[in-house]
Structure 1
Amino acid sequence: MTMRTGWRLGLLAAAMLAGAAGTARAETVTEEFMIGSKWPDQKLYIRNKHPAALYDVKPEKTVLFLHGATYPAHSSFDMAVDGQSWMDWMAARGYDVYTLDIRGYGKSGRPPEMKQAPEANPPVVDTAEAVDDVSRAVDFILSRRNSQKVVLVGWSWGATLAGTFANTAQDKVERLVLYAPQWLREVPPPTDADLARVPAWRQVDPKDARDIWLKAVPETKRDGVLPKAVFGEWLKATLASDAEPATLNTVRAPNGVVLDTMRYWASGKPRWNPERLSVPALVIQGEWDAEAPPAMGMKLFNKLASSPYKRYVMVGEATHAALIEKNRRQLYQAVAEFLESPAPRR
């Protein structure tokens, strides 16, 4: 059982947010917690938003967002665009929604190796260790709400974490949303020498993310898909997420995920088994996602043979970062519709 060491980082904050239809308004409460990880000196940061009038906790309305390989959860899932983040949108719709920063990311504790030279240690925080963080976060949420299940929404590597967790703890998962998920890559497999050269962590300049995300977008449409002003706000929030960057205007990220990608996805070996998944699942992607292209997601979707209810959605004119882009509401709405639709009888 996860030790409930969560202490609040601030007072409850309430804000009036637009409802799903843009007309209703609901009071939303924000709470922040630090809970224990397997390492006593490395806590896990959890952010929660929920309606102030949260009287009836339901598994299908309890959502945990999981981030990708490079940037933390809170600066993306709770990054307001036009005054409202994805977390805000979900809370205004009646959801009890959480984000988790995996150990080594954002406001969570950092392994001591991340204060040393990257080459001094092997890669830290791989998928197995991150799934342990997810398990502790899930147990914290279930204990806090006296509930039995949560919905997992995983973005990129976060989809791998969600799927891996569900493989071993399906009794705690109501539904699974795999947003821009990883799958097998058609690249030359790495050599042993390649694997041995991966350092403990990496230094990332997040201003490069926009060019990476927009790589497959026609030049004339890039500013419309992800306006520079919106990206600037994301950049500011992301840089602020690392209190001790290696150099100015960078963030640190663990390299356990990099080593896993080389050992598994780039070597023709799945990191988790979608065939064993027996909960409803949604695979959702952006049309112009260059990092996890639609063909990759469709291969994963076709592996969900045991899921009692599965759905595939492609968001047009969207990239890997659809959650903060022009068509973000299509992403939000598609996920909500999946979560709120009763599974068909078989």
Structure 2
Amino acid sequence: MSTKFVLRSSAAVAAALLAAPAFAGPTYTNDNGGSFRWYGQFNPSFQSFDDGVEEYNRLSDNSSSNSRIGFWVEQAFGENTLKFRFETAFGFRASDGTDQTSKGDVTSWSRTNLRHVDLQFETAKYGTFSAGQGSMASDGITGADYSGTGLGANASIADIGGGYLFRDGAGNLTGVSVGDVTATYDGPRLGRVRYDSTNYGGFTFSASYGTDILKTNNDRETYDVAVRYSNDELGAFALDAGLAAAWTEETGKQDSRDISGSVALLHKDTGISLALAAGERDIAGTYTYAKLGYSADLIAAGKTSFSVDYYDGSDQVTAGDSSESWGIAAVQKIDRFNVETYIAYRDYSYADTSATAYQDANVILAGARWKF
């Protein structure tokens, strides 16, 4: 794999972003406690995927945190607040949307790129009530992480190369993709109604019911519940954790139940962190994920973060199969420009009970995210 080429491409992406002006979307207010604020980000990356036979070098949008734009409208009513959020991805070619046979369109926007069209009523005493396209209660439940390297490495290890297919021992493409065998069972975004409780000693409780309103001829129904706990004041430690269960029904498909969760612990004095995630689908498989991270102010520009992680999955495509992945990642913040540069390496392997021997694959992803 051409590491020098990847590093040079990463440097070019970072230089282009650093040359851009740094600004944040302005907030406009009225005399009645209302406000309008817009925001967004660009996250271009260079992807180099090696399937054991061929190497594929492509520019892509990092699916771990894709390029997007949105806005918030808020209006206070006494101690309560009515909010509306709109957010859409730009629809650039995704890092998990290319494979050996197709580069995909450089840009192709469709309504499935809508992330949030969401009305929320936040009350001081009774919690928050939401309706519209947005996150289900279980969305993000496997993402507890203090490492600071989520742009290059997180429990969703398919984000940086999940569309590619494994090759067999003879070099032929199989029908098994990286994404097929590296599930997280994290919750989706759907057209839903959702309730989030107020904070009870660090605990919040959520429940939602949703259906896929962005796809045609789809009758999927999902309902889920989640509990989260966060505490940054545990002496020298900070803790973040969550657990969720989700049930899905769809005509023509077998009903499923997912249980997933994560926990992260940070030692504040040293910047060392540990994150664990796991999940199970009753009609499919299971996985566990572990990550060790380190963050520190090594240079004046901003925090520097490193991590190493490991994923182990089983029974995700066929009974008795197994998947493994390990990765390393580094992220450098440049606070002045709201930029984070990153580079990540990940190795994927897969085996099943058939006579097919699958070749290992690996990917390098390098890029920069600019928030505005």
Same-fold call, TM cutoff 0.5 = no
Larger CA Rg, structure 1 vs 2: 2
Give the number of the structure whose residues are more often helix, by fraction.
1
TM-score for both structures, normalised by structure 2:
0.28
Give the number of the structure whose residues are more often strand, by fraction.
2
